[in-house]
Chains A and B, each alone.
Chain A
Amino acid sequence: MSESKLWFLFIVAALILLVFLGIHLGYMHLDNILGVNDPLDYNNVKTRGQDTFWLVSYLILLVAALYHGMYGLRTILLEYFPQNLKFINGLIGIIGFLALVLGSYVVIYSYIGG
């Protein structure tokens, strides 16, 4: 994929983050204002995990945050090691993929009642 497309996705991911991170932070930290009953309570976390809206939201948030973060990390690493493009691309790809698998596993496992 060309650099311009990678950068474009990075910006798109940022816009997605604005929305979904906003929802996440709002729900978690404005609980008193929104009238949410203790969002960190075990039963509430479990109920939320089994809700399709939260499943989709968290998966989108996960993909967007991972892509945005990994692209940023790649840029920083390339700044320090400009000659190691292939190695950095590989490293970022592997770390990103593993984090995606782990994150998806947690979200989906919660959804199916784990």
Chain B
Amino acid sequence: MKVRFKIWRYDPAKDVQPYFQDYTFDVKEGMTVLDCLYYIKENIDATLAFRASCRMGICGSCAMYINKKPRLACETQALSLGTDVIEIAPLPNYKNIKDLVPDLTPLFEKHKNVKPYVIPENEQEFINPTGEYSQTPAELEEYLQFAYCIKCGACLAACPTVGTTPDFPGPQALAQAYRYNADNRDFGEKERKVQVDNPKGLWRCHMAGACAEACPKGVDPALAIQLFKRSFFFTGRKPKARLIPLNKEKPARGGIKAPEPTV
């Protein structure tokens, strides 16, 4: 099927304003939008700039604004869009570096600000571990879906609040803050709450829910934000992760052997 691609072009070195350039060619069944972009780059116009890496929805590099929605180019089948005109632009709410390449610096800065790592109760235990922390499946479930974030930036591109308030941490950072707060090995909840409890922080989210729609990995940042808000007032008792000393707990005779410790 012949498809016309309208692709955003912008080279800050020579263009005053961005513009759309058309490329038309036969798209075969099974080609993703990323395949089409590679086809253009290899056969029609080598100057086209875009960012991609894994081609399998893991790295999050190829998030783009495809037919007015933030999507991963590698996970979007060109023919499944149901149109013979496909418009591709860089993610909105970010500075455009060149063509389809957005500047994701704010995403990573905001992510860094919420301390997206396990903050231990006993720092020494993390520097010189004496054992492993056990976590039940139910405790893992508390944060697991939020841990699937691949930092593609699609949620920030969809968020209307980020559009009006660039300082708003955005769904990605807030969901990740909640992900670590909900982890029972973590003791950094207070620090993260201080970081987001301000006029441009957590409370600016007015639940448009666009982030949850946009996430290509099925993460629901809007839910994380609501749970985060609730945690300010209804703090359930978080069960502490149990430290299992290394080589101390032997499996019962005839029982299934546990995997080797990873620390």
Query: B-contacting residues of A (Cβ < 8 Å)?
Result: 2-4, 6-8, 75, 78-80, 82, 85
Contact = CB atoms under 8 A, between A and B. Distances in A.
A2 B197 contact: yes
B165 A8 contact: no
Given A2-B197, A79-B161, A8 B233 contact: yes
6 contacts: A3-B197, A4-B197, A7-B203, A78-B165, A79-B164, A79-B165
Interface string B75-104: 000000000000000000000000000000
Nearest to A79: B164
Nearest to B161: A79
Interface centre among A2, A75, A80, by most B CB within 10 Å? A2
B229 interface: yes
A50 B197 CA distance: 44
B208 to A, nearest CB: 11
B197 A82 contact: no
Given A79-B161, A79-B164, A85 B199 contact: yes
B211 to A, nearest CB: 16
Contacts of B202: 3-4
B164 A7 contact: no
A79 B233 CA distance: 25
Contact of A8 (B167, B193, B204, B232): B232
B145 to A, nearest CB: 24
Contacts of A7: 203, 229, 232
A78 B204 CA distance: 9
User: Range of interface residues on chain B?
Assistant: 10 to 19
B106 interface: no
Contacts of B167: 82
A82 B198 CA distance: 12
A3 B161 contact: no
Contacts of B206: 75, 79
B110 interface: no
A29 B165 CA distance: 42
A4 B199 CA distance: 9
A96 to B, nearest CB: 17
B57 interface: no
A82 B229 contact: no
Contact of B164 (A4, A6, A80): A80
Contact of A3 (B164, B165, B201, B233): B201
A49 to B, nearest CB: 37
Top 4 nearest A-B pairs (CB, nearest first) are A82-B165, A4-B232, A3-B203, A7-B203
A7 B196 CA distance: 13
Contacts of A79: 161, 164-165, 204, 206
B192 interface: no
A3 B204 CA distance: 10
Interface string B189-231: 0000100011111111010000000000000000000000100
Contacts of B198: 3
Given A3-B202, A79-B206, 14 more contacts: A3-B197, A3-B198, A3-B199, A3-B203, A4-B193, A4-B232, A7-B203, A7-B229, A7-B232, A78-B165, A78-B199, A79-B161, A82-B164, A82-B167
